[in-house]
Amino acid sequence: MQDARVGCWALFKVFSHMAMQGFGGVLPFAYRHLVERTQWLTAAEFGQLLSIAQLLPGPTICNLSVMVGQRYAGAAGGFSALAGLLLGPFFIVIALGAAYQELAHHPLFVSAMRGMAAAASGLILATALKLAVGMLRGPAQESPAAADTGGLDVARTLFWRRVVQVALLVAAFIGLGVAKVGLITVVATLVPIGFLLFAFVWRKP
Amino acid sequence: MNDDVKLGGLAWHLAVLSLTAIGGGVVLVAPDVHHYVSVQNHWLTDEQFAAMYALAQAAPGPNLLFVTLIGWMIKGWLGAVVVTLAAIVPSSCLVLALGTVINRHGGGEGRWAGALRDALAPLAAGMLAGAAWTFLSVAGAGWRGIVLALAAAAAAYATKLNPLWLIALGALAGAIGLV
């Protein structure tokens, strides 16, 4: 997997290629390029790096690019991959921004942007929904096997884990979206609470 | 473009926020950035702010580039560059620092990482919904905007349609006066 032939320029090219294809999200293209085309990562490695990239702060796809780049060419590789990911799209969004400013006084354009913005927030909502459904389904799939071995305790733990998950979800939504207490307050309060509950009280059975 | 913009303050704000945005990607910074640039400093209108995210979503590349657009709108090229670097450099340096450890020992499997992941999944879902709500409430589209957003969410959830089509349909719905 450690391939000496993968240098900074190759990293830059592959990541800029996937970024420029990534209309509506780069991640699916990241899989195609890193696992299927270049075979720099196996599917399992991709999954592992992705889950770490999500745990760390910052944009997930940027974190992934830095980790992959670093693996092949150190810190310079990390920044090469990141630069490839951002450079082309950077100029494209600014071109769009310039077009926006040109047209901003056009009533038709303003209403079109309003519809676009509503659809874009719907897309964020869909991501939230996918995360929530994946989370609530997870324990249910494990429970039949777990119930055979652990019995009632396991079922009770799974129940309370779910209650806590839903409570955290609702608290995070209200904190960030409705009460607007700010991201830092939400994260600094709810992450430790959730972590302590899942690490000590209701551990994954 | 705005002459009384303190770019340093915005950059510092974004750097701290992007280091706080765990579990759900960069869109989580949106409510705070909106408060900073639109409510507190009046550099952008609500409508402009919502439009910047929609444009970044329609463009190729990471959605993080919506902060680039915000920087560009309020301080031109310099704003775009400074704001982008502020949003990615600190978190990337953290990843590089941890990456040495991760590449050597693996990571993300142990009990502590598992508990952290368990905690972050519901929080990310809730915070993303909160960010979506922020965009909806500032986009100025009213109840019909909410209906459109829910329809887009349902379509994106249930189908494998490229999100770009939903963005285009949203623009069309807006243009013909449905929203």
Q: What predicted TM-score, i.e. pTM, was given to this entire model?
A: 0.87
> Which residue from A minimizes the CA distance to B71?
A94
Judge if A91 and A17 occupy the same domain. yes
**DSSP secondary structure letters along A110-170:** HHHHHHHHHHHHHHHHHHHHHHHHHHHHHHHHHHHHHHHHHTHHHHHHHHHHHHHHHHHHH
Judge if A92 and A12 occupy the same domain. yes
Judge if A95 and A170 occupy the same domain. no
Judge if A71 and A140 occupy the same domain. no
Judge if A17 and A56 occupy the same domain. yes
Which of the residues A105, A108, A114 would you substitute to probe the B interface, choosing the one with the greatest number of B C-beta atoms within 10 Å? A114
CB contact under 8 A, B59 and A52: no
Predicted local distance difference test score (pLDDT) of residue A1: 46
Predicted local distance difference test score (pLDDT) of residue A141: 45
Amino acid at A14: V
- Residue A28: inside a domain, yes or no? yes
Token reading at B16: 């701290």
In the predicted model, is pLDDT for residue B102 greater than 90? no
Amino acid at A101: Q
- Residue A122: inside a domain, yes or no? no
User: Which of B59, B115, B151 is opposite residue A93, by nearest beta carbon?
Assistant: B59
Average pLDDT for residues B2-23, to the nearest whole number?
Answer: 84
This complex has an ipTM of 0.88
Predicted local distance difference test score (pLDDT) of residue B174: 92
Judge if A29 and A87 occupy the same domain. yes
Domain boundaries, chain B: 7-120
Judge if A93 and A151 occupy the same domain. no
Q: What are residue A57's DSSP bridge partners?
A: B22
Judge if A84 and A145 occupy the same domain. no
In the predicted model, is pLDDT for residue A100 greater than 90? yes
Predicted local distance difference test score (pLDDT) of residue B2: 57
Judge if A78 and A160 occupy the same domain. no
CB contact under 8 A, B35 and A180: yes
Domain count within chain A: 2
Q: How far apart are CA B119 and CA B22, in angstroms?
A: 11
Predicted local distance difference test score (pLDDT) of residue B111: 77
User: Which of B91, B99, B136 is opposite residue A118, by nearest beta carbon?
Assistant: B136
CB contact under 8 A, B47 and A113: yes
Partners of B130 on chain A (C-beta within 8 Å) are 172-178
Judge if A23 and A81 occupy the same domain. yes
Summarize pLDDT for A15-29 with one digit per residue, the tens. 999 999 887 778 888
Distance from CA of A148 to the nearest CA of B (A): 23
User: Which of A55, A67, A119 is opposite residue B22, by nearest beta carbon?
Assistant: A55
- Residue A109: inside a domain, yes or no? no
Range of the domain at A55: 8-103
